[in-house]
A and B are shown apart, each in its own frame.
Chain A
Amino acid sequence: MLKKNGLLKELVTNRLLFLMLLPALIFFLINSYVPMVGVYYAFTRFDFNTSLFNSQFVGLDNFKFLWQSGVLARLTLNTIGYNIVFILLGNVLAIALAILLSELRLQWFKKLTQSIMFLPYFVSFVILSVIVYNIFNYESGFLNSTLKSFGMESVDVYNTPWVWIFLIIIFYLWKNIGYSMVIYLASITGISEEYYEAAKIDGANIFQRIWYITVPMLKTTFVMLLLFALGSIMKGQFDLFYQLIGNNGVLYNTTDILDTYVYRSLKVTFDIGMSTAAGLYQSLFGFVLIMTVNYIIKKINDEYALF
């Protein structure tokens, strides 16, 4: 009773706010929540002749293929490992570049370089993989031609698994840095000039101003990007791995992630039950992780929490 009054009262006093939020709520209700019934596919055997809820219930059968080959642990570790590096390096670099860029004076240079750094975002991984092959292939690659002309021995990059850990990270950063940099640039723009003026008067040099004003002001943005990235830590970057590695089984030990594994395993059959099961595993993992992290963040500082 009391609760209801609370909600009702809130609805009345903030009716305009509710109204303004309504489009977003309706959107997610229809576009995201309604299809969530499909989660049930993970527990049934797909059948063309009957509806989802009349299909045969098979328990956890659809999850079996995940651990059948004994690679689930490795895949999970690979996926998380890469994502953690992506998150940390990606954000640190983006912040660094955004700060440097924001301090530059030459306007035309600033604008031009910003645009150019965004270019890689438009290069699809299909095309990136072609370029990478062109640089690193054994017989005629750019790298080996150069090495040969210096009288050095050729290196076989495509059969050397450990190199790809670095290559994958480098190309991820190359492609995405421009995108996340924009977010930080916008955040820096939002910082009031008054803080800097005050700091200058107090005698803070440029490094101190960056460290004590700019960086702390970017914390909210960073935490938000972090939380989003953590929630999907078991997913993501499928194209990067799939296009760069593809059929090259030699490299799988260090470069196979859950998404590529699931894709390859189900490519021919496209089994709806099994692919939903894999998605559910990824979701649950992210869910548990995000609830924990958000809880910790909330304990430290309520401001930064996502919800």
Chain B
Amino acid sequence: MTKKAAKAVSMLLSIIVFITVLAACGSNNNNGGSNSGATNAPKETEGTTTEETGEKPGIDTSKKVELQFYMLGDAPKDIASIQEQVNKMALEDLNATVKFNYTSWTDWDQKYKLLLGSGQQVDLIFTAEWTQYQSYAKKGAFQPLDEILPVAAPTLNSYVPADMWEAVKIDGKIFTVPATYKEYVTNGFVWREDLREKYNLPKPVDVATFEQYLEGIKKNEPTMTPLSMNSDVKTNLMDVYKSIAHTPIGALPYGIEVDYKTPSDVTSYWGSDAQKEDLVTMKRWQDNGYMVKNVLAVKDTLQDQVTSGRAAALLGDNPTRFNDMVIKIQATHPDWKLGYHPFPLTNGIATPVHPIHNGFAIPASSKNAERALAFYEKMVTDKRYNLLTQYGVEGKNYEIKDGYYSMIGDSNSNGFAREGMNGWAWRNPEYMLFDKNYDGVKAIFDELDKIQTPDKFTGFAEDYTAYQAERAALEQVEKQYLFPLNAGLVKNVEDGLATFMEKANQAGLEKIQAEYTKQWLAYVADQGIK
């Protein structure tokens, strides 16, 4: 067999080599023509019929193009007719048509990576800090926009404030068009106000009062779980807890801690006394039964647990989602009440979302960068485009009542709900329409506006090339040894923490922290963050 097998293997290998060579030639061919249209200065003569529709773009629109537009989530049902109407306008204005593609939420992060990594044509794609905008930009997945912005989208260029352009820069270059709408996604305590009143419990404003509330619920409502929590105890428990118990500048990775007030002081939270103290608190919460014992296996959403009546409080949620819960409870349990206390009112850190939070970028694979940008300008600044793609057709999908947005029919019959295209990034505050229900959120925003402080963290782009092996290994160690500690399940906190630190150091924690600190300090110094 050995001879035969060896022959078979060598034959296979030669086939592979042959194919490899073929493929290599193929992909080399694709390499050259990445961006060419840049030098073709304003020479627009063809599309003369568009003259009367206002300013003409300073780009060559002689060749008709189809733009591939990618957004996350699911497309609204009426997307085809909306696309048709947008295309009618875009064809006239820019000699371009657009195809709105949606990734759906199924495996969206994997698809996002494939869209950018496979080199297929994508002209516009959504970006946010939670889609790893900073890393992708740093690795060269997007085209820099600095030069083409004034040419292709002058209105947009001046419409977005200069400090916002500045804020989204990665390594000194603009890679995304930020949304200008100001909102807050800061956390706040959520609790059952009706139960609080019934048992005369303190109003949660900080960790101590929140814990008293939990204790009161445990004593008086034995069948209820005081705290709604699920298996993601890092994001939903520790990060939120830290943001009210301490004053971190952001949810930094790798156990690094930077205080909001002193950005250039970097310490390690992991292994510190502060962490030990926090973990002891978590263990107390677990031992007292504030969280379910098997919290690491819970998959229900935090909100569902509260709105169904199983749990009595949420450690933290943002104003918008708190409002969603209020609306739901009004419909299902009108006798219940929910209370909310934003963390910023306690710790003074009221940071509106960073401009990176919602944006659109032009991937490196796009051959129509200018047209794409010009089209995006229309989406944001042209009222016709904007209203159509945010709210659908007036009179068919929505109507305006007393200045409020009002959906026609219900979500089953209406094929385009409010912001049905997930158009968070091209919101234009001047044209925005709000549901009456949203007034509650606006009131909270107004309150936060009074004490507004800048986001000092999100603009930082980490480059983990130097320690990506350590980073991947650490990810595992964190889940295995730190998650049980976070959930308060380890009997001896001190020993548990020591084990975690030992394993983390084995995985290369020190190297990661040192490198991250170096990059962070350089960023702080460079941006003059104080």
Contacts and interface: CB of A to CB of B under 8 A. Distances in A.
- Check whether chain A touches chain B (CB < 8 angstroms): yes
Interface of A: 29, 33-34, 36-37, 40, 45-54, 61-62, 64-65, 68-71, 129-130, 133, 136-139, 156, 158-159, 246-250, 252-253, 256, 261, 264-272, 274, 291, 294-295, 298, 307
Nearest to A49: B140
A270 B108 CA distance: 12
B16 interface: yes
B476 A264 contact: yes
B19 A61 contact: no
A269 B468 contact: yes
Given A48-B140, A65-B472, A249-B484, A156 B293 contact: yes
B382 interface: no
Interface string B1-14: 11001001000000
Contact of B113 (A54, A137, A270): A270
Chain B residues touching A, range: 35 or more
B16 A37 contact: yes
Contact of B297 (A48, A50, A133): A133
A250 B507 contact: no
A32 to B, nearest CB: 11
Given A51-B30, A129-B299, A248-B297, 17 more contacts: A29-B15, A48-B140, A51-B31, A51-B119, A52-B27, A69-B507, A70-B507, A137-B294, A158-B297, A159-B489, A246-B296, A248-B483, A252-B480, A265-B473, A268-B475, A269-B464, A295-B5
A246 B297 contact: yes
Interface in B49-68: none
26 contacts: A34-B19, A37-B16, A37-B20, A37-B24, A47-B140, A48-B140, A62-B469, A65-B470, A69-B503, A69-B507, A138-B292, A158-B294, A158-B296, A159-B294, A246-B231, A248-B231, A256-B480, A265-B475, A266-B472, A269-B135, A270-B109, A272-B117, A291-B5, A295-B1, A295-B5, A307-B8
B468 A274 contact: yes
Interface string B25-48: 001101100100000000000000
A65 B476 CA distance: 10
Nearest to A138: B293
B241 interface: no
**Most interface-central of A29, A54, A246, A274 (chain B CB within 10 A):** A246
Choose among B110, B471, B503 the residue with the greatest number of A CB atoms under 10 Å from its CB: B471
Nearest to A154: B293
Given A61-B469, A159-B489, A249-B483, A37 B1 contact: no
A39 to B, nearest CB: 8
Contacts of B469: 61-62, 64-65, 68, 274
Interface in B220-242: 225, 231-233
Contacts of B468: 65, 269, 271, 274
Nearest to B468: A271
Contacts of A136: 294
Given A65-B473, A68-B508, A264-B479, A139 B292 contact: yes
A52 B110 CA distance: 19
Contact of A249 (B1, B110, B479): B479
Given A37-B20, A158-B294, A264-B476, A249 B481 contact: yes
Interface of B: 1-2, 5, 8, 15-16, 19-20, 23-24, 27-28, 30-31, 34, 109-110, 113, 116-117, 119, 132, 135-136, 139-141, 225, 231-233, 292-294, 296-299, 364, 464-465, 468-477, 479-484, 489, 503, 506-508
A33 B464 contact: no
Interface of B is mostly: helix
B110 A270 contact: yes
A168 to B, nearest CB: 14
A33 B13 CA distance: 10
A79 to B, nearest CB: 15
A130 B299 contact: yes
Given A37-B19, A40-B20, A272-B117, A68 B28 contact: no
A77 to B, nearest CB: 16
Nearest to B112: A270
Contacts of A256: 480
Contacts of B31: 50-51, 54
B479 A137 contact: no
Nearest to A47: B140
Given A47-B140, A249-B479, A68 B470 contact: yes
Nearest to A53: B24
A307 B9 CA distance: 12
A256 B139 CA distance: 31
B140 A267 contact: no
B336 to A, nearest CB: 21
A70 B470 CA distance: 11
Contacts of A269: 132, 135, 464, 468, 471-472
Contact of A137 (B139, B292, B475, B489): B292
A294 B5 CA distance: 11
A250 B136 CA distance: 33
A48 B117 contact: yes
